[in-house]
Each structure stands twice: as C-alpha cells, then as structure tokens.
Structure 1
Amino acid sequence: MEDPPIYKLKDWPTTDDICRKMPLHFKAFKEFLPCHEICHRDGALNLAKYLPKYFCIPDLGPKMYIAYGWLEEFIDKNKHEVFLKMKQGSTDCHIDISGAINVMTNVVEPVNSFSKRQRREALRNLLVEGGLSDEEIDNFIESGRKPGALWHIWPVRDTEKIRKLLHKRDEEQYKKGSGNDAIHDQDTYITSEIREMLEKHGVKGKYILQCEGDAVFIPSGAIHQVLNINSCIKIACDFISPQCVRRSLLTTEELRHLSTSHQNREDKLQLKAHLFHTAKEILSSLLWEPIFKQKLHQKPVI
C-alpha cells in the first residue's frame, strides 16, 4: 500500500521578509530565540551581520514550516491496524550550508474517531520505527507531552561516509559523472532499513523528539531529516557562526560539482563575501580603536 501525500508549506513567506510582513510575530520570535548573539541576524557572532546592505543579501530567515502529521496515517482507517514501516518523512535527508535553529511553536492533535489507545499504539509503533527503545517510549508517553516531530541527525564527521554508502546502495541512480548526489538531491528518507545498514558500517545517528517550545540546533554539514508526528508549525532561521565556516566552505565546494541544471547548485549563501567583510570589520576595529583611545586621552592644546 502506498503512503498518502502529506501536505506542507515550506519556507513561508517565500519572497517577503517576516520582519516586515509580521512585525509583532518577528519581535516575539526574537525575544524567544536562544543564543541570540549567534542565531539572530543582528547577533555579534553571526557573520551574516557584517555583509554590507548594497549586496544581494541571502535570505537566512526566519521562515515558517507548516505541515500535517504522519500519526493519523499510521492507523488504517478501515481496519484500525498500524502500518509498521515508514518509507518517507516530512523532510528528506539533506545538509544545510550554514548552521540553523528550528523552533517548534505549535503542535495540534487532530480530533477524530480514533480512541486514545489506538493513537497511543500508533505513536509507539512510529517511535519504534524511528529507533527509540521501549524504555524511552514509555517515559515519553508517561510525560504526557504532545509529540511534534521526530528528527534524525548524523555527526558531521560521517557525512561523506553516508553519501558513499547511499551511492553504493543505488549505483545506477548515482553513477559517476551524473551530477546526482544522494544528499543534495533531497529525495531520500533514511528508513529503519537504511539506518540498520549504516550502523553495520559504524555510522550511528541521534534522534530528537521535538515538542512544542523546543528548539533544535542543526550543525552546518550534518545530515538530518524530519518526520512530523502531529501537525506542526515550526520557525527556522540560518546563521553563519565562526564554528560553521570550515564545513560551510566544504559544502559550497560540493555544490559546485553538481550538474549545471541541479536546483541546489547556486551559491546562495555567498560565504566568501561574508568572510571578507567580517575580516574587514575586525581589522578596522583593531586598527582604529587604539588611535581613537589615544586621541581621547590627549590633552587639548591651548
């Protein structure tokens, strides 16, 4: 039986700045955002702050992600049986050029004819499929929290190894020289079957069960994917922290080797421009601050 389509609204607003479109919501998000100095567009440790306004500024967000959940589809509406295999998610595996933070602002459990027992059993099977142990599932269910989304994130050090294993798994699709890439194509959801294959080769990721009010940090270059359990509203924004730079440069170089028609080939981040103007700002401060202080302490000539 094929999985049904699950609708989602991605990167909204697509062409407008949420600061202008929803100023009150933007202000509330700014106050809620953790690690403001790194995550916010005006943060001192966010290199995106130092790109001059006359550049074509990359859109780093915040952007909203609104999507229906999968939990309802884990229950067969005719037989009330639970599907035991998940073949796709809300967001397929990919990597971000920059660092990112994703905040869950709202989780909604739909009202329907299913009993609490049926929903609880469906949730248990979904989390088992997601790689959680029975003890972890029991503890979460007992907490009474509404599950929003299930994340899988793999360490940055394993990104290239995962790519090679996925290519080997489907050599025909990712044949050498095709320009296709198992990660940058963003058309693969790493199922429990694939995760088992990765673990046999020493690659083990982490899961994050995100609920309302939770913020998830995604390191630059780390493969990650998302499965919405219930219907959710999430707000995400990208940032360029000093810790991101080395990996972001490697990812930018990877994108250059994709086929010319690939949707992700364009260098949208303009990372080298950010680095240049950040360095210029730092050098300017180092050179001019001592001169300014010296002039400040000089006695006026009468």
Structure 2
Amino acid sequence: FPKCRPCTVGADDHCLFQNIRVLPLNRNGKLSYCLWNRCIFRPLQMPLEEALLPNQADLNWSLDPATRTYMQYVCAKSLLPIFEKALEHSQTEEIVIRPREIQFRHYCDFCSTGLFVSSYLCRKCGQEYCPACQLRMLEQQGEPASHQKNGIYRCANDKVDTERYFHNAEDMLPVTSFSAEELESETKAMREIVQAHHSNDTLQNTPKDRRTSAMEQIMDSDLSDLSELSDRESSPAITEAISEPQSGTSAGMSEDCRVQRLLQSHAVTRFENDAMSEEQFLDVWREGIPLVVGGITPRLTWDPNAFQERYGEMMCTVVRSDEIGHGEMEDNDPSDYCKRLTVHQFFETFSMDADQRREFLGRGNWKLKDWPPAADLRTSFPDLYEDFNDFVPMPDHTRRDGCKNLSSLFAKNANTPDLGPKMYNAWPGDHKAGGQGTTKLHMDIADAVNVLLYASDDLRIVDGHAAAQWDIFRAEDADKIRKFLRQHFNTNEEDPIHSQKFFLDDHLLQKLYAEKGVYSWRILQRAGEAVFIPAGCAHQVCNLTDCIKIAVDFLSPYNIERCFKLTEEFRKVAGENVKSWKEDVLQLHSQLWYAWCTCKKLAEEEPPS
C-alpha cells in the first residue's frame, strides 16, 4: 500500500494520512496488500480543538463597537468569496472533512501558500495542494509527460506505480476543514455584514477617497523648491533635500552629488509623535502613503554599549549586506558572506574604523538582521519588548496587542505568525554608482513600521544628522520597476522585486525616472524617527552610518487588498517546475478568519445598548 513522503524516507514527521485513511486488515488483524486506488479515505471522528480567542483584556485598549464593526466588515468582505467557493468545494464527490488543527500550519506543498478551508491531497504520497495549484494541474494535463514529471506534477511516492509517477486529476482527493453546515452559516453571516455596511454610507472609519494636494506633488529635491512649497501649501508634507556636504559652487560638485540633486521625490509627510492625532495618521495611511513620525524617546538605552553589557555573550549570525544576489556567493567561500560571532563582537565593530573592521570581518558591509532570529522578543528580551510597546507610534495599530491591529485578534492557542518586533543592526552601506545599500529592494507582505533608535557619530551623516536613506515606491509602480530591473540587470528572475537581489543606486534611480517616469519617496531617517511602510510598496534602505533599528509588521484593515495581491504574487513566483522558496508567513486567510471570529465574540459580549 502507498506510503506518504515522510513514511517513505523514515522521517520523524507525522504520517500525512494520519486520521483520514482506512487500510484493510486480514483475518489475523494485520495490514493487507492494498493498491493505491483501493484505499478508503474517511476522517477519524475526533473532537474539534477549540480556538482560544482574545478578550478585551488581551488588547492594549478596549475595542470600541464602531471600529469592531468596521474590522468585521473588512474580514467578511475578504473572506466571503473564499467561503462561497469553499461551500461549492464541500459538495464535491468524495470530499473528506479533516478536523482543523489549531497548532499546526498546513502549506501547499508546491507554492507554500497557507492552506485554508479547501485543499487537494494526493492519494499516493500525501502531498497537499491549494485549489490554485490543483487548477493548474487540470489546465495543463495535456502537456508532455516529460514536463509533468517535474515540479508541481511530481509525485513524491513514484514507486507506487512505475508507469504513473506524476500527479493528475484522479490522484487528487478533495479535502475541507469546514463542514458544509459551518460554511453555510458563516457565509450567511458574512453576507449580512457586507450588505449592512453597503447600506450604511456613514459607518465610522470608512476609508476616505481623498488625499491632500501636497501628497500628489512631484518635487525636485532642490532646496529652493522647499520654500515655495511652504508658501503654497499648508500640508505637513515636505520634500527632503538629498544632498551631501559640498564646498564651493555647483561647478565644483562631484558627479555623485549632481546625480543626487537631480533625483525626484514624492513629498514626504512628517509628524511629531506627541502632536499627531489618529485622524491625521489615518488620512495619510488609508491612501497607502508612507510617512515619518519623529520625537520617539525610548525609556531604555538602545546603543552598542548597552547590548554588549546585556547580551554580549549570546551567539549571533551576521551577513553581508553588499554584493549578495549578483552571483558572487556561488564562486566564493560561504564564510565570506555569513559569520558566527558573539553579540559583543559585532557591536564592538561599531567603534572601529574601516581598516579595523576589514581586518576583523573581511571585506564588505555587515549586518545583524531579524534579531532574535527564531526567538520571540517578548520572551527573549521582555524589557526591550515592553519599552518598544511604550514608544512605538500609533500603538493601537502597531503593537502586537493593538486593538486596531487585525493580527492581535489571532487565536491565543494557535501557531501565531511571527510578525516581530525584530531588530536590524547594520554598518553603513553605499548608494552611489555600483553601491549595494543595506537592504535590497523588496516588498513586505504586511504593513510595517521601522524605528531608528541609534546612529553613530560619523562624518558620512549629512542633512541634519540623517542616518538612513529610504526609497519607497508607490504600489502601482511595481510592474514598471520589475520591467526596469529585468532590462538593466538582464535577469530572468520570476519576480525581481520579490527575489530581493537588487539595489537601485542613485544613477539607476535617475535612469528609472528617465525611462519609466517612476520615482520614490526619498526619506532621510534620523535617530528617534519611525518610518511607516504600507504593504505592497517596494522599498530599499541604505544606512549612512552604523544604525540600530527595530521594526514590526502589523495588519491594517485599510491595506488588506494589497496583502491579498502580494500573497498571490508570492504564490505565482513558483514557476511551472520550481517549488516556491518563500513560505506564507503572514497566513492572511487564517488571520482574517480568527479576526472575524473574535469580532463576533466581542460583539456577543457587548452589553445591550
């Protein structure tokens, strides 16, 4: 009888057919020979594990009824099409209802998208696929057998039938984690919420279809234009000057400096943390526009000496922020790009000059990113986590327990997505011609806020002690940027943005504007400032000096459509014969489902008005 992939290779993972497949026994009570197409699939009747949903006490602040209603509408609007298709799927012949597992994540074995409600299971090897990948199999079954033997079609248990070792439609068993009754009930409730919202145009917190004129302006980075803008506009948006220290007249400027002064930038919106209202924040944020918030003052000291004293003995992994992604790694020793050392040793480099750094770590610019890598900041460094919660701007939206952060409504006993906060500590990078910056061009699948807490004193810091240089692009410009990257880097990457291999130096940014009409929000971040990055906006960073930052992802109800678009883009990065390299960390469908359930629970607990 067919064994699943883990059982075939003797892995420690649990059997993929556990609790859903029935095998025949002979008269002696032993397993009998069984062809793969004779196996019976029937779920074991098991009690459904109940999700432990958050209460008002689990949030940083009580969720008011108006906001809760709007969040519930956002979840219903997003989930309704999925549940309608799942209801149709649940009526498929041979459908198997598998109990939902709260603490175990299921991913598509090809595109790595999180499986939610509906899936298809190979009867021979136990590999599980999302409906989109199964549809791809159906659409391309006429392809030559030599093509089907690779990638998505390859069956992990090819010894079951030597003549048929690739997947096709009859191998796939339809699976659902919801009964038809549950799907009908939830679909009805979601329809009612969506219809009620559409019939009530005055519902609080509905996104506004407006933006200030200053936000739409395209500004040259010459300082002379800034005074004209301040005379014409009363908006808080400004455009920052992108310039380096210069002496003499413009005739004596370097070529790099001339290029920077020619760069275009959207107007940058800035607020001070203690003077910014939530309405001011949302007026910008709902439009998918990045913004900068200054005046952030931590209670603790976040500098190299403090980290050396507190966590100096801990081991960490540092990686090079330059050159990786252009093919050099394949031709060199991996230790040239990745090293293990103590936290004390890494932060000690912040006080070294360039020659000392090169002698200690070798060539290149180094960074300690996503720290702690596997652990939770809340459990590993509770004092830092508490301080972060105290100083992060717009805490209702950005904290992990923020009452207006959809991620805060995730089941407490489920396998929660790791959205941070994480620290990013790095040396300065290079943004001039040929420079590789500090963080390559990429997109985050969720909204994010990045706070700069420490910047070392350095002659390279310019323009009022700016320490990090950001280029954030409009979400609608992504396809133009992809086309530009393919042309100028001569790459065949399925998605050159999501591959995170490229950095646009100042000369390439100038070409991008000249050829595609695309330019960024050029943000110069200073210590004590937070940069808000909307989901779906491609961005890159170049530190101008040694920096210590901390960032967290959050799920804003105003950017859910972009999150869905990104999830689909990551799924499509898996080519016909290439298994996806990126796991669905966000688990967007599950996040919205638990948020929907939590909102319903909180509504039921509200006292009658």
Query: Same-fold call, TM > 0.5?
Result: yes
Aligned-pair CA distance for 1:149: 0.7
How do 1:59-74 and structure 2 match up within 5 A? 59-70=418-429
Residue in 2 that maps onto 1:187: 501
Q: Deviations over 1:165-214 (max 9, x none)?
A: 2223345x22xxxx632101101001223212221222111111111101
Residue in 1 that maps onto 2:442: 94
Residue in 1 that maps onto 2:517: 202
Residue in 2 that maps onto 1:106: 454
Partner SS state of residue 236, structure 1: strand
CA–CA distance in structure 1, aligned partners of residues 419 and 548 of structure 2: 18
How do 1:160-171 and structure 2 match up within 5 A? 160-171=479-490
CA–CA distance in structure 2, aligned partners of residues 85 and 193 of structure 1: 6
- Are residue 220 (structure 1) and residue 538 (structure 2) matched? no
Gaps of 5+ in 1: 75-83, 111-118, 125-139, 295-302
Equivalent residues of 2:445, 2:563 under 8 A apart: yes
Residue in 2 that maps onto 1:297: none
Matched letter for residue 446 of structure 2:
S
Aligned-pair CA distance for 1:123: 5.6
CA–CA distance in structure 1, aligned partners of residues 601 and 372 of structure 2: 36
How do 1:211-290 and structure 2 match up within 5 A? 211-259=526-574, 260-264=578-582, 266-289=583-606
CA–CA distance in structure 1, aligned partners of residues 518 and 598 of structure 2: 41
Aligned counterpart in structure 2 of residue 46 of structure 1, from 389, 405, 416? 405
Partner SS state of residue 559, structure 2: helix
Residue in 2 that maps onto 1:149: 468
Partner SS state of residue 275, structure 1: helix
Aligned-pair CA distance for 1:104: 0.5
Matched letter for residue 85 of structure 1:
A
Equivalent residues of 2:461, 2:467 under 8 A apart: no
TM-score by length of 1: 0.75
Matched letter for residue 187 of structure 1:
K
**Residues 241 and 7 of structure 1, relative CA distance in 2, 3 Å threshold:** same
CA–CA distance in structure 1, aligned partners of residues 397 and 439 of structure 2: 25
Aligned-pair CA distance for 1:151: 0.6
* 94-103 vs 62-71, which moves further: 62-71
Partner SS state of residue 242, structure 1: coil
Aligned-pair CA distance for 1:19: 1.2
Q: Deviations over 1:242-294 (max 9, x none)?
A: 01211011000011112344432x111100111112122223334553xx427
Aligned-pair CA distance for 1:70: 3.4
CA–CA distance in structure 2, aligned partners of residues 286 and 7 of structure 1: 49
Aligned-pair CA distance for 1:52: 0.6
Matched letter for residue 157 of structure 1:
E
Partner SS state of residue 522, structure 2: strand
Partner SS state of residue 65, structure 1: strand
Aligned CA RMSD, in angstroms, stands at: 2.2
CA–CA distance in structure 1, aligned partners of residues 552 and 388 of structure 2: 11
Equivalent residues of 2:441, 2:504 under 8 A apart: yes
Equivalent residues of 2:397, 2:554 under 8 A apart: yes
CA–CA distance in structure 1, aligned partners of residues 605 and 526 of structure 2: 48
Aligned counterpart in structure 2 of residue 5 of structure 1, from 364, 367, 370? 364
Matched letter for residue 269 of structure 1:
L
CA–CA distance in structure 1, aligned partners of residues 375 and 570 of structure 2: 26
CA–CA distance in structure 1, aligned partners of residues 530 and 451 of structure 2: 4
TM-score by length of 2: 0.38
Q: Deviations over 1:34-60 (max 9, x none)?
A: 000110000111111111123211111
Residue in 2 that maps onto 1:26: 385
Equivalent residues of 2:534, 2:559 under 8 A apart: yes
Gaps of 5+ in 2: 1-321, 324-362
| CA radius of gyration, larger in | 2
Equivalent residues of 2:429, 2:436 under 8 A apart: no
Percent pairwise identity = 35
CA–CA distance in structure 2, aligned partners of residues 231 and 192 of structure 1: 20
Give the structure, 1 or 2, with the largest relative contact order (CA under 8 Å, sep 6 or more).
Answer: 1
Matched letter for residue 511 of structure 2:
M
Over 4 Å off, 4+ runs: none
CA–CA distance in structure 2, aligned partners of residues 220 and 58 of structure 1: 16
Partner SS state of residue 85, structure 1: coil
Partner SS state of residue 525, structure 2: strand
Matched letter for residue 546 of structure 2:
S
CA–CA distance in structure 1, aligned partners of residues 396 and 553 of structure 2: 13
Give the length in aligned residue pairs: 245
Matched letter for residue 98 of structure 1:
A
Matched letter for residue 24 of structure 1:
D
Aligned-pair CA distance for 1:27: 1.2
Aligned-pair CA distance for 1:13: 0.3
CA–CA distance in structure 2, aligned partners of residues 212 and 51 of structure 1: 33
Matched letter for residue 561 of structure 2:
R
Q: Deviations over 1:113-151 (max 9, x none)?
A: xxxxxx3xx666xxxxxxxxxxxxxxx2xxxx4331111
Residue in 2 that maps onto 1:300: none
Aligned-pair CA distance for 1:160: 2.1
* 275-284 vs 43-52, which moves further: 275-284
CA–CA distance in structure 2, aligned partners of residues 203 and 28 of structure 1: 38
Aligned-pair CA distance for 1:86: 4.4
Aligned-pair CA distance for 1:31: 0.7
